[in-house]
């Protein structure tokens, strides 16, 4: 009916650094594009109160950029808003997070707003919405009879659109029945059939899928079915021990990353992994087979971010009982990424990395700064400069990491600060140093700090105050 006004989805891979207030600014942006009267009222609010332009707290955004401009909006019919995967928000935990705010305040929107929120049944989210007493509010679970009644019809259409017509005619109904209402099974199955493992035909894949057992005492029937499918797909491609080892290494680093990495960025980082012997084609050799499970891995553009297409795949890989030989130890992945980040920084950081002619120009006076950043600070190096401490936080004290950290602070510390200043990320310095202090202290009863910090300013040419 063309009533969908705004759609926002959270991604677990981005939750460490994701700013969840973007939910509100996205909604405001979409309403402005669709309704001129709302845009006019919003413009007046921002013009009269400039501080609103930089607001990030939920209350201010909701009250002044949504509720007040909506008073001047007069529409006929529903305005539909979808908030997808709330459980993957970085602020959907505890008693005062985004989920609590939404549960308390969404009912204040005009009565013609229709809001659909999807989420896993995480305790904090369930408790927040269990207390909502608004008459039009309801919670519907995936096993609800009415909700599930037409799922098979949707899966039927999906198979029809994604399989060759002769394959669908012969096997479509059987595959729909085998999916048992689990849409992700259908999605993975289509990818598996379309791109068979080496030596197998499409018919081999189909026969294998139709023979998958779904009976298991400990796991739910649908979950077991999906895990069996994941296992079969991975067994088909990664059956040699050395290949499975490489799979665990590559996928572990993709899952442990604090923002989605591309093939190009992960390849660059892995050159500095601890004890790893890797070449430029190792990452691509693994992910190119996983187009039905990961985003962008079949694209010719190797700079696109890679994320699992479904959270259940991450759950499968990080549960040793379910995944067996494909189990991902996230602790080991963080260990490798910490070494990779520090190694890349030690190798690539240098004085005046962007070749700026004068150190006396503030960043905002350099007209082509962004193009210089794009040219001289690769995404992998930018990732390493921002997230090395996040990986470190998840590890026990290790002497070999301490050696790299000492080298970083003795040789490249000012160059690291310069990168963060150029990219407007200098606010990450103090949290990183605090994390480092805690990590170092965990390894010794008495530790002299690697770095002691004094004043910190924000202009590039005077970023350093007093550092010892």
What is the pLDDT, as a whole number, of residue 432? 94
CA 349, 353, 358, 364 torsion-angle sign: negative
What is the pLDDT, as a whole number, of residue 275? 65
> pTM of the entire structure?
0.64
pLDDT bucket at 14, cuts 50 / 70 / 90: low
What is the pLDDT, as a whole number, of residue 329? 95
Of 377, 157, 136, 109, nearest to 268 by C-alpha is 377
Buried b (16+ CB within 10 A) or exposed e, 22-58: ebbeebbebbbeebeebbebbeeebeeeeeeeebeeb
Say whether pLDDT at 253 is over 90: yes
> Rounded mean pLDDT of 330-337?
95
Mean per-residue pLDDT over the chain, rounded: 84
The percent of residues in the chain predicted with pLDDT above 90, rounded, is 48
169-196 residue pLDDT tens: 999 999 998 887 778 888 888 888 888 8
Say whether pLDDT at 456 is over 60: no
300-311 residue pLDDT tens: 889 999 988 777
Within 10 angstroms of residue 366's Cβ, the number of other Cβ atoms is: 18
**Measured distance between the N- and C-terminal CA atoms of the chain, rounded to whole angstroms:** 64
| pLDDT top residue among 331 and 460 | 331
Q: Which long-range contacts (CB under 8 A, 24 or more apart) does 320-327 make?
A: 322/219, 322/227, 323/227, 323/230, 323/231, 324/231, 325/244, 326/231, 326/234, 326/238, 326/244, 326/247, 326/248, 327/248
What is the pLDDT, as a whole number, of residue 212? 63
CA distance 109 to 168: 45
Q: Are strands 4-9 and 113-117 parallel, antiparallel or unpaired?
A: unpaired
What is the pLDDT, as a whole number, of residue 371? 93
């Amino acid at each position: 009916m063309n009533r969908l006004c705004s759609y926002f989805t959270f991604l677990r891979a981005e939750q460490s650094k994701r700013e969840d207030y973007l939910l509100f600014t996205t909604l405001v942006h979409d309403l402005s594009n669709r309704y001129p009267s709302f845009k006019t009222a919003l413009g007046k609010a921002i013009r009269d109160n400039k501080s609103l332009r930089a607001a990030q707290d939920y209350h201010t955004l909701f009250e002044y950029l949504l509720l007040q401009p909506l008073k001047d909006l007069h529409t006929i019919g529903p305005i539909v808003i979808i908030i997808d995967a709330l459980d993957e928000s970085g602020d959907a935990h505890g008693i005062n997070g985004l989920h609590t705010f939404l549960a308390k305040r969404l009912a204040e929107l005009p009565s013609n707003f229709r809001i659909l929120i999807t989420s896993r049944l995480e305790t904090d989210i369930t408790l927040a919405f269990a207390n909502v007493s608004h008459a039009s509010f309801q919670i519907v679970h995936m096993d609800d009879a009415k909700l599930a009644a037409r799922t098979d019809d949707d899966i039927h259409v999906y198979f029809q659109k994604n399989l060759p017509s002769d394959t669908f005619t012969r096997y479509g109904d059987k595959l729909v029945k085998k999916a048992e209402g689990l849409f992700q099974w259908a999605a993975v199955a289509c990818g598996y059939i379309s791109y068979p493992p080496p030596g197998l035909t499409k018919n081999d894949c189909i026969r294998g899928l139709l023979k998958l057992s779904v009976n298991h005492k400990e796991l739910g029937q649908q979950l077991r079915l999906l895990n069996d499918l994941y296992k079969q797909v991975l067994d088909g491609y990664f059956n040699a021990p050395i290949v499975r080892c490489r799979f665990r290494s590559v996928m572990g680093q993709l899952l442990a990353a604090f923002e989605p990495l591309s093939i190009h960025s992960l390849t660059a980082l892995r050159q500095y992994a601890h004890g790893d012997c890797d070449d430029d084609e190792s990452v691509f050799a693994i992910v190119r087979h996983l187009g039905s499970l990961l985003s962008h891995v079949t694209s010719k553009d190797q700079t696109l971010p890679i994320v699992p297409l479904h959270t259940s795949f991450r759950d499968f890989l990080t549960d040793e009982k379910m995944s067996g030989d494909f189990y991902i130890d996230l602790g080991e992945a963080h260990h490798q990424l910490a070494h990779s980040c520090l190694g890349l920084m030690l190798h690539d950081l240098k004085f005046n990395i962007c070749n700026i002619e004068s150190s006396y120009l503030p960043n905002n006076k350099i007209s082509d700064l962004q193009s210089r950043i794009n040219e001289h600070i690769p995404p992998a190096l930018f990732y390493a400069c921002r997230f090395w401490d996040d990986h470190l936080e998840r590890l026990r004290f290790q002497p070999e990491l301490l050696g790299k950290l000492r080298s970083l602070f003795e040789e490249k510390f000012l160059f690291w600060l310069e990168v963060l200043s150029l990219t407007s990320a200098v606010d990450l310095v103090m949290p990183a140093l605090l994390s480092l202090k805690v990590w170092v202290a965990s390894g010794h009863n008495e530790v002299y700090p690697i770095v002691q910090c004094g004043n910190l300013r924000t202009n590039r040419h005077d970023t350093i105050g007093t550092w010892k």
